[in-house]
Amino acid sequence: MQVTIKTKLKISNSEIALSFFKTMEQYSQACNYVSEYIFNHDFDMKQSRLNKELYTKLRN
């Protein structure tokens, strides 16, 4: 399932725009990582188990 959200942002300069773009890329990669992990582990959706397995990897 893919969800699309549209919003307007006023970004005051190119440095902030680049920082925002990098943040969104990291967020997207993290979502894909979690999705792939769940798919490869029989769709185990238990929050405590996901947190134990993924939190440290995602924070690094």
How much is the average pLDDT of 19-41? 95
Per-residue pLDDT at 60 exceeds 90: no
Please tell me the predicted confidence (pLDDT) of residue 1: 84
Burial class of residue 1 (count of CB atoms within 10 Å of its CB; 0-12, 13-18, 19+)? exposed
CA pair distance 26, 58, nearest whole angstrom: 10
